[in-house]
């Protein structure tokens, strides 16, 4: 018996399998009965073609219904008819699919787990060094059937011994996995820098494309201290700053001149490429300067125009005030900022895109007045 949500159950078992010496041969997918505790569930047994170099045989059993088990639980496999014992095993983990030839990494992890079943500390390290995302006491309790107190104790002891790293409060990653992830992140950031020497930020979209969804999720759980060690400074929005990065001095000079001009033009800025040319920026550097300005967080892009962020923030404040009052008044917004619908409507759509407002029929309503605009 177990409290709800504290024990896993599944229908595909990975077992550390030991056939009995005189057990009859069983073809792949042969019918078996799995006995564990008071449970007896019908299923089919699938064996690997060869034994591992470590002498372990990791078998798959596909059950007809879920069975609740924790790693290390012992099971007996019987042939239903004619009834005879086939062998014994220890439960290793639930699977999403049967192990195939290409799943050698996963099979290797399971073989390592089979060697550690009687050592909770080794089980913990093996698990944290195989997972892509950091884990806490609750994850370990669910995976291994431990109490939260035991899981917390094992994590703290491993952290003190320098075997795991706490990436954020209560979330840990094995040092092997943490080191490999740190190296991979460094390679992604350095590659971005080499291709974009004018940038001081890296888009989260690029990190996701290069690292994958799970590793980016791990990155986003890290503390600011951990991220600083990786050369990253998190920001609200879609860009993260790269720590301690310096760009060529001409970028700062061009940016200062451009920002003065954009600030004076308010919500009716000149087309960015034309503006860049007017302030003396080489044609082949205009787009890169626009990206650099966006990285500073001082401008916002919409179509062919860059807008001074402070002015757009003022627009946001007035839109929020209108929607909290009598409702949207586009002519009043246009007159207040001395602009036209050509510029105003794309900016209102920009506020929709950033989650400040949202369209409902022909009207707009507030969604999140504090949403980041970058």
pLDDT in tens, 143-173: 999 999 999 999 999 999 999 988 888 889 8
Residue 242: which of 194, 209, 173 has the closest Cα?
A: 194
**Is residue 53 predicted with pLDDT exceeding 60?**
no
pLDDT of residue 54: 62
pLDDT of residue 241: 93
pLDDT of residue 56: 76
- The DSSP annotation for 315-334 comes to HHHHHHHHHTTT---HHHHH
pLDDT of residue 66: 94
Poorest-pLDDT segment among 54-58, 72-76, 292-296, 359-363: 54-58
pLDDT bin (cut points 50, 70, 90) of residue 307 is very high
Q: Do domains 109-173 and 247-374 have the same CATH topology?
A: yes
Tokens of 101: 């030839």
pLDDT of residue 202: 94
Q: Which fold has domain 109-173?
A: Arc Repressor Mutant, subunit A (1.10.10)
High-pLDDT (> 70) share of the chain, %: 98
Helices (H) and strands (E) in the chain, counts: 14, 15
Question: Is the CB of residue 192 less than 8 Å from the CB of residue 203?
Answer: no
- Phi, psi of 269, deg, nearest 5: -75, 155
Tokens of 186: 């460094």
**Average pLDDT over every residue of 348-357:** 92
In order of 146, 250, 263, 293, 305, the CA distances from 276 in angstroms are: 63, 13, 14, 12, 11
pLDDT of residue 196: 92
pLDDT of residue 64: 96
**Is residue 50 predicted with pLDDT exceeding 90?**
no
Class of domain 247-374: mainly alpha
Q: Which fold has domain 9-100?
A: Elongation Factor Tu (Ef-tu); domain 3 (2.40.30)
Instruction: Catalogue the long-range contacts made by 148-151 (C-beta closer than 8 Å, 24 or more residues apart).
Output: 150/120, 151/124
Question: Is the CB of residue 135 less than 8 Å from the CB of residue 178?
Answer: no
pLDDT of residue 303: 85
Q: Where are the domains of the chain?
A: 9-100, 109-173, 177-242, 247-374
**Average pLDDT over every residue of 169-183:** 88
Q: What pTM was estimated for this model as a whole? A: 0.66
């Amino acid at each position: 018996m177990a409290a709800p949500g504290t024990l896993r159950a599944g229908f595909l078992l990975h077992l550390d399998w030991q056939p009995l010496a005189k057990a009859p041969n069983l073809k792949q997918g042969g019918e078996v009965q799995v006995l564990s505790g008071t449970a007896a569930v019908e299923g089919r047994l699938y064996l690997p073609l060869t034994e591992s170099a470590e002498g372990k045989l990791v078998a798959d059993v596909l059950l007809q219904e879920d069975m609740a088990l924790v790693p290390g639980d012992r099971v007996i496999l019987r042939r239903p008819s004619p009834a005879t014992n086939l062998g014994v095993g220890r439960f290793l983990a639930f699977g999403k699919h049967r192990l195939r030839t290409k799943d050698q990494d996963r099979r290797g992890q399971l073989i390592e787990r089979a060697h550690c079943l009687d050592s909770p500390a080794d089980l913990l390290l093996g698990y944290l060094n195989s997972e892509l995302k950091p884990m806490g006491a609750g994850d370990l309790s669910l995976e291994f059937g431990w109490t939260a107190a035991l899981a917390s104790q094992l994590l703290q002891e491993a952290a003190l011994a320098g075997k795991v790293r706490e990436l954020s409060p209560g979330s840990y990653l094995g040092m092997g996995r943490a080191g490999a992830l740190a190296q991979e992140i460094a390679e992604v950031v350095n590659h971005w820098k080499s291709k974009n020497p004018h940038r001081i930020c890296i888009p989260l979209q690029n990190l996701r494309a290069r690292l994958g969804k799970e590793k980016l999720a791990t990155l986003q759980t890290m503390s600011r201290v951990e991220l600083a060690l990786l050369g990253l400074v998190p920001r609200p929005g879609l860009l993260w700053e790269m720590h301690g990065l310096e760009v060529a001095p001409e970028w700062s000079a061009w940016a200062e001149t451009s920002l003065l001009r954009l600030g004076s033009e308010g919500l009716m800025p000149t087309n960015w490429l034309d503006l860049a040319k007017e302030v003396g920026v080489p044609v082949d550097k205009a787009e890169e300067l626009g990206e650099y300005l966006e990285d500073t967080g001082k401008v916002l892009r919409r179509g062919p125009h860059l807008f001074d962020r402070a002015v757009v923030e003022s627009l946001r404040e007035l839109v929020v005030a209108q929607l909290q009052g009598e409702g949207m008044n586009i002519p009043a917004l246009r007159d207040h900022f001395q602009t036209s619908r050509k510029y105003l409507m794309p900016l209102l759509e920009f506020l929709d895109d950033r989650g400040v407002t949202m369209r409902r029929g022909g009207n707009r309503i507030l969604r999140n007045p504090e949403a980041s605009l970058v």
